[in-house]
Structure formats: structure tokens, C-alpha cells
Amino acid sequence: MLGKSTDQRIIESTAKVLRNARILKGLSRKELAEKLNVTNKSIEKFENGRDKISQERLNKILDAIGISNEEFLKLKRGKGIIKQPRLKNVLVHRDRRSYKKIITKEAKVLKTLRRMKDISQDKASVLCGYSRPTIGHIENGRIAIDRSRIHHIISCYGFKYLDFERYLQVDNLRDEIIDHCLEKLKTLSDEKLGLVWELLILWGRKRV
């Protein structure tokens, strides 16, 4: 009986490490599949070494799991990574698509920065290399975000980490203020709305 080829052994080794990384991070196959926007069968296939993984796809999988390439290589060398507490998303069986939302200030700032650049969630997914649902999950507190992921996202949006830190210190974020003002404007009478418009025009002229 012929032994396994070198390529096959490499594929199986990578698959085993990815499976261990997922388990260490407390992710189920279903949760990882949702993050990657693929089926559970696809996760099972590459974790069992039945599917060759390109470097580009590997990077996406590592990002979804929440580990860096450096941590991945350490696992390959037999060194573990720190297990992070698992954020249980699914509430109950009948509401398996409902998630517990923990919208942190970090998540709010990421949303603010995206909107400041007039970037849609669809465009953000292309810029960041994430699936469209992943962007929504991040902003809605359904996915925990670590510092490496924050660095990646703000860089893709064209900001520096200092910009991110500055907005963390702001009590009321820019887009939240705008949304609140828009809601107030909708309740004004035509007369009052006209006065606001005149004030804005006057303010605009003074700035020129």
C-alpha cells in the first residue's frame, strides 16, 4: 500500500492545526461557517484534509478564527495560544439565528469611521476582505473584535490608530449626533424647519 504524498501530509497537517485553533478559540464549526459565509460541510471538508487550502483562503480562515499567521505557525510547531473566553451568541434553540448583542464603544467607533468615509457595508466587506454579514456582525456587537482586527479595519478605511483612539474618548460620536439631529428635524413644523435652514445657510456663509 502506497504511503501518503508530501503534499497530502502538508494538507492534513494544516487542517489539523486549523481545527485545533478553532477549538482553542471556542468556535463551533457552525459559528466559523457563518463568519466565512460558507456551509458547515465546507468547514468539515478542509478540517479533515479533503480540500487544499490556498494562502489567500488560509488568511481568511485565520482571520475568522481570530489568530494571526504568527500564532498559526506557533501552533504548527506545537506551541499553544491563549484560549479566549467564548462569547456565546446563540440564545436558545428556537432563536438560533438571534444573537446576544454586546455593542462596545470600539464597535461604535468602527461604524462611525466607516460612515465618515461614506463607505457602505458592502464596500467595507470588499476593502477588508470580510463577508458582508461579518461587517454587520462586528458593528452590531455579534463578533468580538481584538486589536489586530481593529488595526486591519481602520487601515482599510484609510484611518490611523490614533484616529480610532481619539474617537474612543468622545462622549457622543459624530454619526450618532447626526442621526439624532435628523430624527429631531423630522418632528419640526415647516416654519421651524425653515428657520433651521436659514441658520445653517448663515453659518455656512460665515465660514467662507
pTM for this structure? Answer: 0.48
Nearest CA to 145 out of 97, 89, 88, 106 is that of 106
Cβ burial of 35 (10 Å; 0-12, 13-18, 19+) is buried
Q: Any idea which fold 105-168 has?
A: 434 Repressor (Amino-terminal Domain) (1.10.260)
Superfamily of domain 6-86: lambda repressor-like DNA-binding domains (1.10.260.40)
Secondary structure (H, E, C), 1-46? CCCCCHHHHHHHHHHHHHHHHHHHCCCCHHHHHHHHCCCHHHHHHH
- How confident is the model at residue 6, as a pLDDT? 52
Tens of pLDDT, residues 133-163: 889 888 888 887 888 889 999 999 999 999 9
Residue-level pLDDT, tens digit, the chain, 208 residues? 444 555 555 577 777 888 888 887 777 888 888 888 888 888 888 888 777 778 888 888 888 888 888 888 877 776 555 444 443 343 344 444 334 567 888 989 999 999 999 999 999 988 988 888 889 888 888 887 888 889 999 999 999 999 999 998 988 888 888 888 888 888 889 898 888 888 888 877 766 5
Tens of pLDDT, residues 70-88: 888 877 776 555 444 443 3
- How confident is the model at residue 157, as a pLDDT? 93
Report the Cα–Cα distance between both ends of the chain, in Å, rounded: 83
Specify the DSSP element, H or E, that contains 150: helix 147-157
